[in-house]
Chains A and B, each alone.
Chain A
């Protein structure tokens, strides 16, 4: 089973990436782990924001905030990835704003790094030993010099229909 499914995934990713040799990612960090989002999805990078809590919303929804007159729903990526909640004293959280079908979402992470242009050759599918939840939210891994970058699958990260069912 494991051999069949990831194999097709890899094929698919190769198809996407083979059109371009390099893809650019905005990097960010949670608990020291590097994550990446395709740069074209990113609208904005924000510092600490005033966030309005939304009662009755899923716990991963941190609230909503005002970005130049548009309402952005803030998602706490830590909670989404089942990591311990953000420690307020550890410093100010940053957010990456992405556009999903016309709606804006801000992904709250620990910090945001530089933009990297990564060659397709360094891309690899998720190792089967990766936590199933992380595998769900990741399209694959890039091997960097001294780090590994997990590519976040933003549409899945923002698809709350599954987690609601759970």
Chain B
């Protein structure tokens, strides 16, 4: 039978038994509350039949509803006769339902007689005698308060809500449903053989309160643990008299566990049922030929899990059909088969369910994602350079990314992928993405079979044991002091060389502040863990075996500790904390889009992250460490010394088809005479410049705070980077060295305001943001930079205050003029001095800038003018 129909039948039967009881109650006590409940139930039945295309049922329900409506409006009195009439109407509905259940079609015939009576009643002509149609069974027994239905009058809404007493089994409801059998046999006279058949169908399934099942599950979990405990006691004691009974207990427990788990299992096909329709509609709408293949629909998984992945699956299939697959024409042109394929495949794999969603469409447009990532400020251009395509593709799971409408229109994915990932991670699953340009995209979802029992690896660190969910563990690496897999340290950050990759490591001892000495242990173990696309290693002292554990939430007073996802009791009866790989990854600075909460946290962290900067630390012209914001550096190159040429006495090199001037840090030219020379390439638009350095030391992420300002050209000042004093170089200075006109270069003295004024910098160009931020911070300002006017305005909404705003004029989206107007028009920022920055510095622009509310207007490359203007504006504000 059609799922929808059978669902309707169950639901309506439930409503009908409720209605019987309610109507009797109503007769005794015509309360508006009962009446409105009755009205609602009948209305729902009517509405659903209309939807399912059951006209006969609908008209009957409709007529009944009319009468009830009059009751409700007070136009009709609730009389026993009228109630009888409604009950007759319900009986007729039951009769029709019975027929539908048996044959999946409405019975022949009509209900004119009943409807006429109902209509007459609705018009106020109630016949107290209630002449039921001849064929109808005597209504009297029906009016009896249905002793057969043990279900109290609980409206369906209340049934859906969790019951308070878990013992409460709702089973009898659907069982009671076939009560209409009697009248239906009387009226529609189905063959006698059909009657037992339909009751048999109903008796095969019962509805059980989910809470009861959950309770059973918990009990079974406890039983499993106790069994494990017993097994451990007997282990190694083969001749124990308990061995045999325990063996049997063990088998029975396993069977019981499986049985109880099965009660919660549903085939994944239930979640797929709607997909063919969605795909068909899309294929018609978009004029694409799509072949949806569903493999493994019978694979069963936990009901709770199923509910949670339903929407993500639908979303992803829709994405594949909508954006993943090319149009039929396009496919023909590139020589692919016209019919695009979407394959859904579900199967079990070692305690997990794997669901693959693959299409043979165009694949993700990686180049487009790169651009968008950079534009959204999710990663710097430098970071992006170093990522491979798969890493870049992961950005479609980022929360902020989905809002970028351009990516979706071009590459197809984006909207809601963060939600998909969040939902999957919520149930302890993982999602992987593989994409190949022109070949297609596939998602692989790995989810636990059930949420109640997970398999976990037990590890030990500093004498304490911890559990790590097995699903996150990729592999285990054993290291000894003298093995080839040694732990190496970069500035206190441990790393491991693992198959030509550098694996970042986290010491559990340090992370959990376990104390004790890592000491001279001969060996340590590294648990290679994966969270999303981020792989890292957790250093532990020992690794035990894996155990099935029941995850229990930690006490409320410990919930704030993000390192633990729960706790559990092991086979030996001891309590053990379960580590949360997400939390650990989060604490190491890697932001992993997790639950909703982490998504929120990551937006705030993103903002915070703008305060932090990646700094490239290098040595040049001396042993002092020097640093430059990494974002300013376009590339790191090594140039063959032989390639260096000279032009006007200055060293240049041919680089990407152009001449690139080389500059040294101290003006002298002292490059290596042979070999390769490391060079930092700074680029803006068409021009690039190479800064010759001795050695590139590290890339670190720090909040750049220049501590000491120095009076030396080319240096912004000295900052503490990774605990070491580092000179921050002024890239701008070297740019002017290379290209005299890169910026205006007036050498004016400038006296900055020494109080830390807060400046908001709005500029869409990462280059200028990165250039100006250190410049302003060395001048004593506290700088917050954003890349669009919208973000700036949202800072206003969130309550941030600034002493001045510097804004670019040409920006995508809201431009500087509109932004100024928006700032001036309302809110707390209305009076803040605003300085416009623009490369177009014509008189007309100045005029317009002042009109919309800019305090001043500065040409973009005139740094000193900017600082001066800023100081003037701020002091003017202070005076005012």
- Contact A56-B563, Cβ < 8 Å, known A61-B558, A69-B222, A71-B575: yes
Complex Cα distance, B563 from A52, in Å, reads 16
- Chain A nearest CB from B462 CB (Å) reads 9
Tell me whether B687 is interfacial, beta carbon within 8 Å.
no
- Contact A52-B576, Cβ < 8 Å, known A64-B567, A69-B225, A69-B569: yes
**A residues within 8 A CB of B561?**
54, 56-57
Q: Mark A97-112, 1 if CB is under 8 A from B, else 0.
A: 0000001010000000
**B residues within 8 A CB of A105?**
555
Q: Mark A43-68, 1 if CB is under 8 A from B, else 0.
A: 00000001011111110010111100
Q: How many residues belonging to B are interface residues under a CB distance threshold of 8 Å?
A: 25
Q: Is the CB of A55 within 8 A of B563?
A: yes
Tell me whether B493 is interfacial, beta carbon within 8 Å.
no
**B residues within 8 A CB of A164?**
560
**A residues within 8 A CB of B568?**
71
* Residues 22-80 (chain A) with a chain B CB within 8 angstroms: 50, 52-58, 61, 63-66, 69, 71, 73
Residue of A nearest to B558 (CB): A57
- Chain A nearest CB from B782 CB (Å) reads 27
Tell me whether B513 is interfacial, beta carbon within 8 Å.
yes
**B residues within 8 A CB of A50?**
574
- Chain A nearest CB from B588 CB (Å) reads 15
Q: Which of A66, A69, A73, A103 contacts B574 (CB 8 A)?
A: A66
Residue of A nearest to B576 (CB): A52
- A56, A58, A63: which has the most chain B beta carbons within 10 Å? A56
Q: Which of B225, B560, B575 contacts A52 (CB 8 A)?
A: B575
**B residues within 8 A CB of A69?**
222, 225-226, 569
Q: Is the CB of A64 within 8 A of B575?
A: yes
* Residues 254-276 (chain B) with a chain A CB within 8 angstroms: none
**B residues within 8 A CB of A73?**
555, 557-558
Q: Is the CB of A103 within 8 A of B555?
A: yes
Q: How many residues belonging to A are interface residues under a CB distance threshold of 8 Å?
A: 21
Tell me whether B464 is interfacial, beta carbon within 8 Å.
yes
* Residues 80-109 (chain B) with a chain A CB within 8 angstroms: none
- Chain B nearest CB from A64 CB (Å) reads 4
**A residues within 8 A CB of B575?**
52, 63-66, 71
Tell me whether B630 is interfacial, beta carbon within 8 Å.
no
Tell me whether B573 is interfacial, beta carbon within 8 Å.
yes
Q: Is the CB of B569 within 8 A of A160?
A: no
**B residues within 8 A CB of A158?**
557
Q: Is the CB of B573 within 8 A of A55?
A: no
- Chain A nearest CB from B459 CB (Å) reads 13
Q: Mark B821-847, 1 if CB is under 8 A from A, else 0.
A: 000000000000000000000000000
Complex Cα distance, B567 from A52, in Å, reads 11
Q: Is the CB of B556 within 8 A of A53?
A: no
Complex Cα distance, B222 from A10, in Å, reads 46
Complex Cα distance, B558 from A160, in Å, reads 9
Tell me whether B473 is interfacial, beta carbon within 8 Å.
no
Complex Cα distance, B793 from A96, in Å, reads 55
Complex Cα distance, B561 from A61, in Å, reads 13
- Contact A55-B512, Cβ < 8 Å, known A73-B555, A164-B560: yes
Q: Is the CB of B513 within 8 A of A55?
A: yes
Complex Cα distance, B225 from A64, in Å, reads 17
- Chain B nearest CB from A29 CB (Å) reads 25
Tell me whether B552 is interfacial, beta carbon within 8 Å.
yes
* Residues 134-165 (chain A) with a chain B CB within 8 angstroms: 158, 160, 164
- Contact A55-B557, Cβ < 8 Å, known A66-B575, A69-B225: no
- Chain A nearest CB from B17 CB (Å) reads 34
**A residues within 8 A CB of B564?**
54
**B residues within 8 A CB of A57?**
558, 561
- Chain B nearest CB from A127 CB (Å) reads 29
Q: Is the CB of B577 within 8 A of A71?
A: no
Q: Mark B542-565, 1 if CB is under 8 A from A, else 0.
A: 000000000010011110110110
Residue of A nearest to B555 (CB): A73
Tell me whether B189 is interfacial, beta carbon within 8 Å.
no
Residue of A nearest to B508 (CB): A55
Complex Cα distance, B552 from A53, in Å, reads 17
**A residues within 8 A CB of B558?**
54, 57, 61, 73
Tell me whether B186 is interfacial, beta carbon within 8 Å.
no
* Residues 567-586 (chain B) with a chain A CB within 8 angstroms: 567-569, 573-577
Tell me whether B514 is interfacial, beta carbon within 8 Å.
yes
Q: Is the CB of B552 within 8 A of A71?
A: yes
- Chain A nearest CB from B430 CB (Å) reads 25
**B residues within 8 A CB of A53?**
464
- Chain A nearest CB from B68 CB (Å) reads 43
- A55, A64, A160: which has the most chain B beta carbons within 10 Å? A55
Complex Cα distance, B567 from A54, in Å, reads 10
Complex Cα distance, B569 from A71, in Å, reads 7
Q: Is the CB of A54 within 8 A of B577?
A: yes
Q: Is the CB of B557 within 8 A of A58?
A: yes
**B residues within 8 A CB of A64?**
555, 567, 575, 577
What would be 6 A-B contacts, judged by CB atoms less than 8 Å apart?
Answer: A52-B576, A54-B561, A55-B512, A57-B558, A71-B552, A103-B555
Lowest 7 CB-CB distances: which A-B pairs, in order?
A55-B512, A73-B555, A52-B575, A160-B557, A64-B575, A56-B561, A66-B569
User: A71-B555, A73-B557 known; 20 other A-B pairs, CB under 8 Å?
Assistant: A50-B574, A52-B574, A52-B575, A52-B576, A52-B577, A54-B564, A54-B577, A55-B563, A55-B577, A56-B512, A56-B561, A63-B575, A64-B555, A64-B577, A65-B575, A66-B574, A69-B569, A71-B552, A103-B555, A103-B556
